Structure 1
Amino acid sequence: MGVWLGCVACMASGSSVVPNGDQGRQDQDAGGEFAAFDAGTEELAPDAACAAAESEGKLAPVNLVFVFDRSGSMSDFNKWEPVVRSMKSFFADPRSKGVSASLTYFPKTSDLYCGSTECCSIDSYTVPSVPLTSLPNGTVFAASLDEVVPGGGTPTVPAMRAAIRQARSIAEASAHRGETTAVVLVTDGMPNDNCDPQRSSVELTAGAAQDANEEASSIKTYVVGIESPYHAGALDDLHHVARRGGTTAAILVMPSNAEGTAKAFADALDAIRSRTVSCRLPIPSPPEGKVFDRRKLNVTVSEGNREYGLGYDEACQGGAGWRYDDVAAPSFIELCSSSCSEVKGGRGTKLSVQFGCDTRIAVH
């Protein structure tokens, strides 16, 4: 999602935001904290605000590492074609702007009895079929998906471990600092591969997902489960992996006719996109002639003809507003929960960040 960062008229419209002024102000220099203000909703005249200065920025990007089950059972019950069609649409959708994705298929080959070197080795899945690519992209992913046909077993453990390794590498790279990285497992059942017959493949998969979620970078695992009568009990297993991966439950798709399956799967991907879109905004370099002062920053939301200011709320008590990731040494602006939901749900929503204006404080 694109955002505009700049100094526009410092305005406050709405009872949760008050304009900063001299009255009621604490000594910021003494305590170094934000000021306390009287409530008010009066708009400030542009000339009384701050000088116009504008730069462009974006919400923190999202990286999704897809692990896609192409086992033989994915061809049953008219699942494969509509699922692939919806995946193509997701990757090409303009609403996926700000998201990057990679794509890995498992098993490595369609041979049901492929050897441990090919199907059961983590190294077999280390290099994705489509590397991390900015979306929307209607060609690279579509070309890759068109080359794949379902067949073989379900070696979920090595494929997931490789995907988590890839996600960890992305999350730890300096180029992706502050970004959200997650794994998306798409499957119609849990492991059936004989890769490690002495141990529970379900537990190994869930354990890998939990380890990734509990790391400092908190790589979560989303699971899209495509129901199949052949895999009794598999749905509970999928929920188990999702819970351990930090996403509460798997998103389940019930195959029906082709259009119904395609829509259900598309809805599942939409839900993941919505849940992973970040509401963190990197603080941009100030425009020429401006310096960053954490006490002189404001955030305004505009959508169509509607424009309103967000108040600073360090604890995000009221749900609306914004705060810094670290008030002592801020790097990001974080929207509070209800403001985050509103920005995510809006089409064409823009955020403006004003430099040099005394910070407006949210009141409750």
Structure 2
Amino acid sequence: MKRTIALSLVVPTLVLVGWVGCSSTDDTVFAPGPPDSGSDVSKGGAAGQAGKAGQAGQAGTAAGGEGGSAGQGEGGSAGTGAAGEGGSSLGGSGGEPQDALPEVDFTYDAPPEVAAEACATANVEAKLKPLDMYFMIDRSGSMSGPPWTQQANALAAFWNDPASAGITAALRFFPQKDTCGGVDSTCSGNTYVTPQVAWGLLPGNAAALNGAVNATSPTACTPTQEALNGVLKGSKQRQIQQPGHVVVAVLVSDGEPCCTDCPVETASGLGQIAADFFNGTPSVRTFTLYVASVASAVMTSIAQGGGTNQSYDATNTQNFIAALKAIQGSAIPCDFDMPVPDGGSVDPAQVKLEYQGQPITPVSGQAQCGANGGWYFDNQTDPKKIFLCPATCNLLKADPNAKVNISLGCLGT
């Protein structure tokens, strides 16, 4: 996500003008005190009074009260401040400046319109995560004839569809051998990890994918465990390499496992393999399509273990295409991580979302999502995720360049 931080700070300027005026409207006469009392700072209060006539403080150069030469006799000739209680022979300690200008405590409250502008804001540009699909296609002997043709046509239509632009696709067929039996005794699928047609963006990669299908002929048996292990290991490897993508495994078959060399051939056993990868780190989901009804039970078990709940009917070309589009729609999650600014706290009530310059309406939860769409938090007071309502989600998925602007409002301290 691209993040921009904008700081708008209005600082009002306070100018404090201090005017110190030393004058007296009354004629005060000061009596000189003992000469040795001038060094007693604790008695300087009286001298401070003498400081009302600042000239007297400056003029207190004489110890005996003669110091009025500079003060013109207005206060320096008298003694208690300048030469007695507060002043030494140096005189002016009686007129300490802090008494002339007392300390001032004040509080400044910015006007509301100023306070509203004095804040930092953050905007984040978010996109739906890109989708990567690893196709593992059954080429066993039972796929000969119409099943293979229907499958080839459906795959070509999906890979060339402009709506598939932005998907990264890879492809491999199973079995690898033209004879029955696994590549190794455990049907580990290790030789299936690397795709036959490498990962590439659609529609650019469509030509290589279609070319591989057209160059392949159905034969041999159905080592489902080997194929499942391989496509899941390859998808997991891809997910580790591309943590910002959503990587899914897509398994297509027309029949039940029929490779006696593989240790696992039951529906429940294959479902457990898919569950292990779905519950692993990183998690990988398995989508399945059955080209013949006989494969429905085993493919459903794999899908349920792999976190996708159901297998898709692909028994004809139109169903096959519809199934692939449904997988595309459900594979991409419509949520964003709640942005965390570099500094400051977020008030969830100030968060706003926009798509193509238009606001997306916030709702309080999934149950409040309607035909007009919207968005909501996973937690209203301490959100970690932002979810899009289905209508808004579908709108964004139809736009391969969709971007959502997330405004975090005024950041607190």
Pairwise TM-score range, normalised by the shorter structure: 0.5 to 0.7
1:214-256 deviation line (CA, Å, top 9, x unaligned): 224332211100116xx4xx322222222222222211123xx
What is residue 180 of structure 1 aligned with on the other side?
246
Letter in 2 for 1:184: V
1:116-152 deviation line (CA, Å, top 9, x unaligned): 4499452221221122222223222122222211111
1:221 to 282, 286, 289: 286
2:331 to 233, 256, 276: 276
Q: Percent identity?
A: 23
* Distance (whole Å) between structure 1 residues aligned to residue 157 and residue 120 of structure 2: 43
Structure 1 residues 354 and 115 mapped into 2: Cα distance closer, same or farther (>3 Å)?
closer
Structure 1 residues 132 and 226 mapped into 2: Cα distance closer, same or farther (>3 Å)?
same
Structure of greater relative contact order (alpha carbons < 8 Å, 6+ residues apart):
1
Is it true that 1:134 corresponds to 2:201 in the alignment? yes
* Distance (whole Å) between structure 1 residues aligned to residue 192 and residue 289 of structure 2: 20
Larger Rg: 2
Is it true that 1:124 corresponds to 2:191 in the alignment? yes
Is it true that 1:161 corresponds to 2:213 in the alignment? no
What is residue 409 of structure 2 aligned with on the other side?
357
Alignment length (residue pairs) = 292
Structure 1 residues 54 and 135 mapped into 2: Cα distance closer, same or farther (>3 Å)?
farther
Letter in 1 for 2:214: D
Over the residues paired in the alignment, what is the CA RMSD in angstroms? 3.8
SS at match of 1:223: strand
- Correspondence list, 1:1-364, <5 A: 58-76=127-145, 78-109=146-177, 111-113=178-180, 116-117=183-184, 120=187, 122-137=189-204, 138-173=206-241, 175-177=242-244, 179-196=245-262, 199-227=264-292, 231=294, 234-254=295-315, 261-281=316-336, 294-295=346-347, 297-302=351-356, 307-311=358-362, 313=364, 316=366, 318-319=368-369, 320-323=374-377, 333-337=386-390, 339-344=392-397, 346=398, 350-355=402-407, 357=409
What displacement does 1:278 show? 2.4
Letter in 2 for 1:167: S
Structure 1 residues 312 and 199 mapped into 2: Cα distance closer, same or farther (>3 Å)?
closer
**Bigger share in strand:** 1
SS at match of 1:98: coil
* Distance (whole Å) between structure 2 residues aligned to residue 277 and residue 165 of structure 1: 20
1:238-276 deviation line (CA, Å, top 9, x unaligned): 22222222222211123xxxxxx2222111111111111
* Distance (whole Å) between structure 2 residues aligned to residue 349 and residue 171 of structure 1: 22
What displacement does 1:308 show? 3.6
* Distance (whole Å) between structure 2 residues aligned to residue 85 and residue 6 of structure 1: 46
TM (normalized to structure 2)? 0.60
Unaligned runs of at least 5 residues, structure 1: 8-47, 255-260, 360-364
SS at match of 1:357: strand
Mapped contact 2:256–2:298 kept (Cα < 8 A): yes
What is residue 19 of structure 1 aligned with on the other side?
none
Mapped contact 1:107–1:152 kept (Cα < 8 A): yes
What is residue 102 of structure 2 aligned with on the other side?
none
What is residue 97 of structure 2 aligned with on the other side?
none
Letter in 1 for 2:136: V
Tell which deviates more after alignment, 277-286 or 198-207: 277-286
SS at match of 2:233: helix
SS at match of 2:222: coil
* Distance (whole Å) between structure 2 residues aligned to residue 92 and residue 200 of structure 1: 35
Structure 1 residues 118 and 68 mapped into 2: Cα distance closer, same or farther (>3 Å)?
farther
What displacement does 1:101 show? 2.0
What displacement does 1:74 show? 0.8
Mapped contact 2:125–2:403 kept (Cα < 8 A): no
What displacement does 1:75 show? 1.0
* Distance (whole Å) between structure 2 residues aligned to residue 70 and residue 336 of structure 1: 39
SS at match of 2:268: helix
